[in-house]
């Protein structure tokens, strides 16, 4: 008799975005004439840079002629893109990453979700709270957790991020095998310094653990002292896998292109004592289960590294960061403690009340949609996430409405 993978039944139904949608719809029915402004979304709103569109079009035209047509590409990605990445994102920052250590994919969501399958089922997993839900849910699906109780899965080592630790989790007090970190962080917008990141790398070396470092928001870093990549930290090539994406960097959320870096120096010992290369395993996994990203999309992604592309990407991000600075300043002026928004598109606001209560109040009084922090984990209670992904005009209007609603 066929059965399902019953670990799926442990998954807490994610009510967050459907709950938000329900409350927004109810509000719209009550106030059909007041348009809402969404500052809750984790999606970009501006069009692709012109350089990407041009490269995209040109590649589509190549597909129209037999002589330039491309069929299956390399599962790991085209050389032209991997090389541009190695040069621009790593070597130029002093991080020693070579072209063949980069695996192009159609999303950091897939990669951060898929990577766990190459590790042992009994691995001890450390996951931040609050968190991007993919890390947690994919380990639940794989059967690495027990039941969901009081907002947490049994068997996971949670890394609490709260005001007392400046939203950078403390090192685990017990040994763990796989550690998820995300900086600049979604949802808190907090960044990590090189010294702080070095402590995690050292911990991983000492515990023979691997760090899964999600740097999807590195392009938003403004402070020159902050690391963009974990490979800027000494020792990281022995213990870290890094995930990057063109989604937030260059507006590729609907176009789909990302990459994962797996250094060849990353080795793990098997139960029989053999050294196994994680790079070889991931290469095998991708070659078996993935058939590459479409050629035009990879051309569009590579265009972000042209001179024009770099400038256009910078302008795109500058626009969002202007919004972020405005949001942060407005909320602080209103007396709310904030983190994030300085090197990240997210502002994490301490509300002084339960996060859904504050969400409802903001919707009702200002017609503005944010994301309640409780949806990202127990440590998110009492916070909301405001996103800078919107037009400058909408953000300005939203902030004026929030100021009016929240000024006593």
Could you list the residues that contact ligand PLP (CB under 6 A)?
42, 107-109, 132, 182, 186, 214, 216, 245, 247-248, 253, 258
Three state DSSP letters for the chain: CCCCCHHHHHCCCCCHHHHHHHHHHHHHHHCCCCCCEECCCCCCCCCCCHHHHHHHHHHHHHCCCCCCCCCCCCCCCCHHHHHHHHHHHHHHHCCCCCHHHEEEECCHHHHHHHHHHHCCCCCCEEEEECCCCHHHHHHHHHCCCCCEECCEECCCEEEECCHHHCCCCCCCCCCCCEEEEECCCCCCCCCCCHHHHHHHHHHHHHHCCEEEEECCCHHHCCCCCCCCCHHHCCCHHHCEEEEEEHHHHHCCCCCCCEEEECCCCCEEECCCCCEEEHHHHHHHHHHHHCCCCCHHHHHHHHHHHCHHHHHHHHHHHHHHHHHHHHHHHHHHHCCCCEEECCCCCEEEEECCCCHHHHHHHHHHHHCEECEEHHHHCHHHCCEEEEECCCCHHHHHHHHHHHHHHHCC
Q: What is the nearest approach in angstroms of ligand PLP to the Cβ of residue 29?
A: 31
Q: Which is nearer to ligand PLP, 85 or 216 (CB)?
A: 216
Q: What is the nearest approach in angstroms of ligand PLP to the Cβ of residue 364?
A: 28
Q: Which is nearer to ligand PLP, 250 or 278 (CB)?
A: 250
Q: What is the nearest approach in angstroms of ligand PLP to the Cβ of residue 407?
A: 32
Tokens found for residue 97: 């990453």
Q: What is the nearest approach in angstroms of ligand PLP to the Cβ of residue 408?
A: 35
Which residue is at the shortest CB distance from ligand PLP? Answer: 107
Q: Which is nearer to ligand PLP, 189 or 309 (CB)?
A: 189
Q: What is the nearest approach in angstroms of ligand PLP to the Cβ of residue 200?
A: 17
Q: Which is nearer to ligand PLP, 107 or 309 (CB)?
A: 107
Q: What is the nearest approach in angstroms of ligand PLP to the Cβ of residue 95?
A: 19
Q: What is the nearest approach in angstroms of ligand PLP to the Cβ of residue 135?
A: 9
Q: What is the nearest approach in angstroms of ligand PLP to the Cβ of residue 214?
A: 5
Tokens found for residue 304: 């972000």
Q: Which is nearer to ligand PLP, 247 or 371 (CB)?
A: 247
Q: Which is nearer to ligand PLP, 132 or 295 (CB)?
A: 132
Q: Which is nearer to ligand PLP, 42 or 373 (CB)?
A: 42
Residue in the block written with tokens 């793990």: 268
Q: Which is nearer to ligand PLP, 41 or 308 (CB)?
A: 41
């Amino acid at each position: 008799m066929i059965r399902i993978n019953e670990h799926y039944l442990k998954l807490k139904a994610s009510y967050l975005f459907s709950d938000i949608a329900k409350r927004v719809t109810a509000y719209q029915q009550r106030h059909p004439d007041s348009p809402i402004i969404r500052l809750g979304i984790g999606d970009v709103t501006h069009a692709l840079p012109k350089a990407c569109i041009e490269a995209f079009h040109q590649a589509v035209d190549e597909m129209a002629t037999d002589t330039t047509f491309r069929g299956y590409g390399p599962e790991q990605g085209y050389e032209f893109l991997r090389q541009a990445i190695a040069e621009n994102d790593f070597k130029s920052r002093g991080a020693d990453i070579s072209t063949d250590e980069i695996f192009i994919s159609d999303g950091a969501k897939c990669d951060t979700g898929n990577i766990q399958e190459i590790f042992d089922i009994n691995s001890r997993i450390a996951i931040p709270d609050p968190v991007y839900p993919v890390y947690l849910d994919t380990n639940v699906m794989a059967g690495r957790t027990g039941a969901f109780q009081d907002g947490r899965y049994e068997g996971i080592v949670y890394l609490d991020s709260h005001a007392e630790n400046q939203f950078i989790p403390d090192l685990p007090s017990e040994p763990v095998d796989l550690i998820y970190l995300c900086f600049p962080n979604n949802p808190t917008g907090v960044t990590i310094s090189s010294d702080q990141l070095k402590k995690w790398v050292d911990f991983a070396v000492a515990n023979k653990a691997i760090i899964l470092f999600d740097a999807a928001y590195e392009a938003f870093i403004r402070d020159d002292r902050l690391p963009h990549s974990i490979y800027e930290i000494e020792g990281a090539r022995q213990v870290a896998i890094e995930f990057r994406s063109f989604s937030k960097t260059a507006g590729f959320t609907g176009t789909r292109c990302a990459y994962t870096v797996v250094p060849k120096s990353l080795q793990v010992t098997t139960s029989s004592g053999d050294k196994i290369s994680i790079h070889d395993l991931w290469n095998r996994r991708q070659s078996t289960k993935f058939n590459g990203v479409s050629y035009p999309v990879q051309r569009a992604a590579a265009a972000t590294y042209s001179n024009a592309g770099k400038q256009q990407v910078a302008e795109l991000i500058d626009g969002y960061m202007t919004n972020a600075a405005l949001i942060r300043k407005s909320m602080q002026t209103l007396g709310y403690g904030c983190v994030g928004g300085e090197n990240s598109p997210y502002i994490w606001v301490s509300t002084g009340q339960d996060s859904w209560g504050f969400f409802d109040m903001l919707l009702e009084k200002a017609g503005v949609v944010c994301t309640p922090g409780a949806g990202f984990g127990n440590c998110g209670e009492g916070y909301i996430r405001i996103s800078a992904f919107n037009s400058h005009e909408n953000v300005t209007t939203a902030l004026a409405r929030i100021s009016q609603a929240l000024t006593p």
